[in-house]
Structure formats: structure tokens, C-alpha cells
């Protein structure tokens, strides 16, 4: 593993996963393999790791060499969880599943991937390298649709003004690089410079979520996980923004029967169903101040965990 790479909340996540000998685990977001390696070192367990980004394969190969049959890797979307474990001749998981969501530092640091507003590169933003690019998305949407993406997935309060200027500028000069987009956003958000976050943070987040269908994938992943976890097995999620944390929180509340934050006036499906999961941590676990100081990306991380109970 590269010394520069610091997986966010790794120790807390491995503890929450409760890694034990002879059980099967899934790391649904392999990245550079930091979590995967820590899981394999924690106990004599088996691990199946998934990532939709083909660039990580070289790191997976290193772990295959070191841990032999205990480790396998699938280059796929984690929504395909059920079919992936079937390929590994399994229908259920008895240890647990962890997902450390979002982009990796490896993706952010490579200007050619187009994820970072701090590096000039093509407007790409595709984790898997397939499908439409951010540039194609920007050109395919009208002003209203573009503004909706920036608002829905980035909660960008200046979404309308940014969309308006993008539409005006994209016809004057080809909008094909991250820095050209940053320039447009900065023009709209010129008074926001003193704020803690970069003016393009929310717009870049929004486009990235749209391109990679991140929220839809997360929902599919949670549903698939619910089906395949055996009693005693855990599901651990690390989220990085309120949109994904809200999806995880509501899903966990629903399947554990936790009434907080649910609309009490609406009859809940769970009331008639037997509860099959319990919450491990009532409040989300946050990174220590020390970690946030060392790694800016950790500042918005939240860890939530549940465990399948015997019914």
C-alpha cells in the first residue's frame, strides 16, 4: 500500500465489522485495498472484494498473491452483490459486509479522471470508465435539468445561476476540462471565496453522483445486503455526505425497527414484519479530531453499522 494513502476511519470500520476467523466477508469498495488488507490481517477469514474501477486491479493482484485462496476480487458494481457471491459459490455471507463510499484518493489525485476541481483534466468523472462522461452529461441537459442535478445531488444553493452560466458559456467555447468548469462556477460564486469549502465542491459532487448513479447504486446495494447476511453478520457503511448518509440512516432505521427520524404518522412496513437486524451504534461514529487534521476528506465521514439477529 502507498504511504500517501490513508483509508478513512479504517480501524473503527474494522472494529465495527467484528472480523473473526473462518467467516466470509465482503469489502464492497476495494479502492486501494487498505480496508481489505486490514480485514485479512485481523483474522483468518475469507474476503471477497469488489470495485467498479478497473484501475484498482493491480492492487487486488498484490493481495491475491499474498493471501492466496482467502482473497478474491470482482471488478463490478456492488449492486450486483447477489450474483457476485453466487459466482463464488455462495448464497449467503456469515461474517459481514463493509462499504467505504464515494471516490478514492487515487481517483481524485489522477487529473485524467476529472474528479478534482484542484487539478486540470478532462471532464470525465466515471469511476468504471464506461457510460457517459461529465462533459457529455453537461451538454445533454437543458438549463433546468442541469440546475436540478446541481441542486438534487449537490444541494448547491446557486444551482440556477451556475446552470444558466454553464449553458451560456458551453456554446461559446467547448466546455471540456475541469478548470473551465471551475472558472464558470467561480464567476457565479465570487462572494463565497471566504467560505470553508471550495466554491466548486458542491457542483463537482453533484455531477459525480449523477454520472456514477451513486444514490441509486447505494439503495440497490443495501437491499441486496439485507438479503444475503446471515445471523451474526454485520453491515458497516462509511458515508461522506448528507445525501448518502440519509439513505443509509433511513434504511437502517427501517430494517431495525428504530422509530427515530421516521415519519410516525405514516404506518411503517416494519410494524407488521419481524425485525431481523439490530443497530450497533445509535449515533453515527465520527472520525477522531486527529484523523480529520491529517486527512481533510475524513471530516465529513460517518460510520453506521447493523447486525443480523437470529429470528
Residues between 10 and 49 that touch ligand SAM (CB under 6 A): 29, 31-35
Rounded least distance, CB 24 to ligand SAM, Å: 18
Site string for ligand SAM, 122-151 (x = CB under 6 A): -----x------------------------
Residue nearest to ligand SAM (CB): 31
Q: Does 217 bind ligand SAM (CB under 6 A)?
A: yes
Residues between 64 and 83 that touch ligand SAM (CB under 6 A): 77-78
Does residue 13 contact residue 236 with C-beta atoms inside 8 Å?
A: yes
Site string for ligand SAM, 158-197 (x = CB under 6 A): ----------------------------------------
Does residue 135 contact residue 125 with C-beta atoms inside 8 Å?
A: no
Does residue 236 contact residue 99 with C-beta atoms inside 8 Å?
A: yes
Of the ranges 85-93, 99-107, 144-152, 160-168, which one interacts with ligand SAM (CB under 6 A)?
A: 99-107
Rounded least distance, CB 75 to ligand SAM, Å: 9
- 3-state per-residue secondary structure call for 157-221: CCHHHHHHHHHHHHHHCCCCEHHHHHHHHHHHCHHHCCCCCCCCHHHHHHHHHHHHCHHHHHHHH
3-state secondary structure of 239: strand
Q: Which residues bind ligand SAM (CB under 6 A)?
A: 7, 29, 31-35, 50-53, 56, 77-78, 100, 102, 104, 127, 217
Amino acid at each position: 500500500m502507498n504511504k500517501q494513502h490513508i483509508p478513512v476511519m479504517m480501524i473503527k470500520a474494522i472494529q465495527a465489522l467484528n472480523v473473526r476467523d473462518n467467516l466470509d466477508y465482503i469489502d464492497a469498495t476495494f479502492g486501494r485495498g487498505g480496508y481489505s488488507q486490514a480485514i485479512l490481517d485481523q483474522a483468518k477469514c475469507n474476503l471477497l472484494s469488489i470495485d467498479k474501477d478497473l484501475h484498482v486491479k493491480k492492487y487486488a493482484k498484490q493481495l491475491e498473491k499474498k493471501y492466496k485462496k482467502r482473497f478474491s476480487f470482482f471488478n463490478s458494481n456492488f449492486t450486483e452483490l447477489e450474483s457476485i457471491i453466487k459466482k463464488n459459490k455462495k448464497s449467503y455471507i456469515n461474517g459481514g459486509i463493509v462499504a467505504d463510499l464515494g471516490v478514492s484518493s487515487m481517483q481524485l489525485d489522477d487529473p485524467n479522471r476529472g474528479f478534482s476541481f484542484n487539478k486540470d483534466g478532462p471532464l470525465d468523472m466515471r469511476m468504471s470508465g464506461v457510460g457517459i462522461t461529465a462533459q457529455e452529461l453537461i451538454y445533454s441537459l437543458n438549463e433546468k435539468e442541469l440546475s436540478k442535478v446541481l441542486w438534487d445531488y449537490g444541494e448547491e444553493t446557486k444551482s440556477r445561476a451556475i446552470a444558466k452560466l454553464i449553458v451560456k458559456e458551453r456554446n461559446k467555447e467547448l466546455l471540456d476540462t475541469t478548470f473551465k468548469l471551475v472558472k464558470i462556477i467561480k464567476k457565479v460564486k465570487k462572494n463565497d471565496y471566504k467560505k470553508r469549502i471550495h466554491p466548486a465542491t458542491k457542483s463537482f459532487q453533484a455531477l459525480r453522483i449523477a454520472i456514477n448513479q451513486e444514490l441509486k447504486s447505494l439503495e440497490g446495494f443495501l437491499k441486496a445486503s439485507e438479503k444475503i447476511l446471515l445471523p451474526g453478520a454485520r453491515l458497516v457503511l462509511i458515508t461522506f455526505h448528507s445525501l448518502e448518509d440519509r439513505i443509509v440512516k433511513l434504511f437502517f432505521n427501517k430494517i431495525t425497527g428504530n422509530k427515530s427520524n421516521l415519519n410516525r404518522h405514516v404506518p411503517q412496513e416494519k410494524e407488521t414484519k419481524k425485525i431481523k437486524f439490530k443497530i450497533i451504534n445509535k449515533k453515527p461514529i465520527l472520525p477522531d479530531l486527529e484523523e480529520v487534521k491529517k486527512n481533510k476528506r475524513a471530516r465529513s465521514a460517518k460510520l453506521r453499522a447493523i447486525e443480523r439477529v437470529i429470528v
